[in-house]
Chains A and B, each alone.
Chain A
Amino acid sequence: MKRETMIWAAIMLLGAGTLIWRAAFTTNGMGREYVRAVPVGNGQWNRYDPATYDDYIRSESANPNQREYLLSIPRTICLWIAAFFTIAIFSFLYRDNPIYKIVEAIYVGLSAGYWMVIAFWDVLIPNLLGKVWPTMIQKWAMPGLSGPDAKRDFWYLIPLVLGIMLLWRMAPRGDWIARWPLAFIIGTTAGLQLVAYLHGDFLEQIRSSILPLVVNNLGAFDFWASVENLIVVVGVLSCLTYFFFSFEHTGFVGKTANVGIWFLMITFGASFGYTVMGRIALLAIRIEFLLDDWLWLIDPLHRHTR
């Protein structure tokens, strides 16, 4: 057996042993989910709301025969699957491996399936079929979707036809038919966004950049506000100069463009810093999940301890 395989086998066995010890031989244990049974429909059946171990223990102490708070086997299995998937995805940091590949494939498949369901139930049904055949859709799938007085709106047949035309590109012949709806989508999106960007970004940003360099606040000179405005104005002008290629970047123009580069670099740095913060937050929430929800090593919300 290779040395590396032996080390990995030892780490896995150690990890598995620790989990078994923690789950079976510690006071609180780990990795269990509890639910609260709430009777509905005149007590004919139960709805299961999430509950905590703390709720369960408190209820058991009061009445050992209670049936309100229960261990949920399906939720517990899901919790362990989530923990396994998290660790499996992290395993890629060491090296690409079969477990990572399997989990990645499951994730991609789940994601595709999820978006397909969303597209069907949240787009096609309410936005298209619910408009063309409202009564039928309300009876079959979504009661109350368009209200009791819903009328058929035959204008929605146009997007239906365009949608069918878009799918035509998968047909063996006549794939050019798909270009028409595509042209419509591109044209509409471009038109909508052009106005929004011109109005919301271009014009508003020009307006926001025209700032007084000497700021008077309640009649007194506000030094820091003036510096802030000066930085904004110098930053905008120098960055614009950097992207202005009609003059050679020499002399005054070159120096201003260099200042622009500094501003751009600081912007990229700040942007990268924010991205790092976001990525660390993502890692932190996964580790928090492993330590809190799964291993019960920490309990900031007092869910596992009395």
Chain B
Amino acid sequence: MRDFLEQQWWLVVIVLGSLAPLAAQFVSRGFLPTLRTLDRRWIFLLMFWAVLVPIYFVGVTGRTFPEIPGALAKATFNEIEKLHAGDPVLIAFDYDPSSEGELSPMATAFVKQCAEKKLKMYFMALWPVGSQLADATIDDVLKSDFPNLVYGQDYVNLGYKSGNEGVIKVIVTNLRELYTTDSRGTPLQDIPMMHGIQNIQQMKLVIDISAGYPGIKEWVQYAVTPFPETIHLVGGSTGVQAPQLYPYVPRQLPGLLGAIKGAAEYEKLVIDKYGGPHPNPKYLDGLRRMGPQLVAHLLIIFLIVMANILYFADKRRESRS
């Protein structure tokens, strides 16, 4: 930390310099009066630094914050871990670039674990850009780190289909009703790993990476609920959506990764088992992004406490007057 501060002194100067007028206000007008009339833009600036400085620190030093995997991350990891080589797994990319920050670390870690387990991966998407994001993850993980895996034999991208939950409802019983080609336009009958696949009940596990509608909720309602014995689902979701999904745990949804925290915990499990002594930094995105989360959360807690102090101080003053 000391080395960082000595080398990056200019950042310290900029941060402190930008906050100097606020400090001057506190000194000249007093603590509570300044807090009472605090311009919201100071809070934005504080939040900006609270996010930027840890990103810079982690980016420069390469250090990540310690992470202890929780029960749900372990459950998700174990659901994939108990599968056997060659088992078919459906991975649905139901998100778009707006939630990439939270969900792409999960997607990368899911694909890495599946590849390490030598599972057959069937990618699909219920969101239009999901298919391209699946391709990006394939390029990033499979093509670069698992060059022995062959498209069409070990993994296939079935692409995007419009129709939201309607797609799920159809493919649970008849995949070929909707999917006649993969995302590249190759007919399914010409893809070796599609031979014998009639519906997604044949998948040993469905993994959904979901940013909203359609997503995990629809997979639970239209795939897991009608076929609880044959379709097993785990997933990762954005922070906004996660609270709606917890009621499905564990009966309908044995594993769930909530937001970047869930991604970091799961990443830790995958890296500990498959990352080797020097894991590739691309598998540490979630762990890296927990740095700004920690500092920004501390700032929010501090602001909430300050606002409460102000509230009670004002109430006391009113009651006295």
Contact = CB atoms under 8 A, between A and B. Distances in A.
Interface of A: 93-94, 118, 122-123, 126-127, 142-148, 192, 196-197, 199-201, 204-205, 207-208, 267, 270-271, 274-285, 287-288, 291-292, 297-302
Interface of chain A, main secondary structure: helix
A286 to B, nearest CB: 8
A127 B163 contact: yes
A208 B251 contact: yes
B185 interface: yes
B180 A93 contact: no
Interface in B35-89: 41, 44, 47-48, 51-52, 55-56, 58-60, 62
Interface in B101-129: 101-102, 128
B187 A199 contact: no
B180 A270 contact: no
Given A192-B169, A283-B51, A302-B281, 20 more contacts: A127-B163, A144-B187, A145-B181, A146-B180, A147-B180, A196-B165, A196-B222, A204-B251, A274-B239, A274-B242, A276-B297, A278-B99, A278-B102, A278-B240, A280-B297, A281-B101, A284-B289, A285-B289, A297-B56, A301-B281
B259 A277 contact: yes
Interface size class of B (residues with CB under 8 A): 35 or more
Interface string B243-280: 10001100110000011110000000000000000000
Interface of chain B, main secondary structure: helix
Given A143-B185, A144-B180, A278-B259, A199 B281 contact: no
A274 B51 contact: no
B185 A200 contact: no
A94 B44 CA distance: 9
Contacts of A291: 52, 55-56, 59
A288 B224 CA distance: 37
B52 A297 contact: no
19 contacts: A93-B41, A93-B44, A144-B187, A196-B225, A200-B220, A200-B225, A201-B247, A208-B247, A267-B243, A281-B239, A281-B259, A283-B296, A285-B100, A287-B52, A291-B56, A297-B56, A298-B55, A301-B281, A301-B282
B292 A280 contact: yes
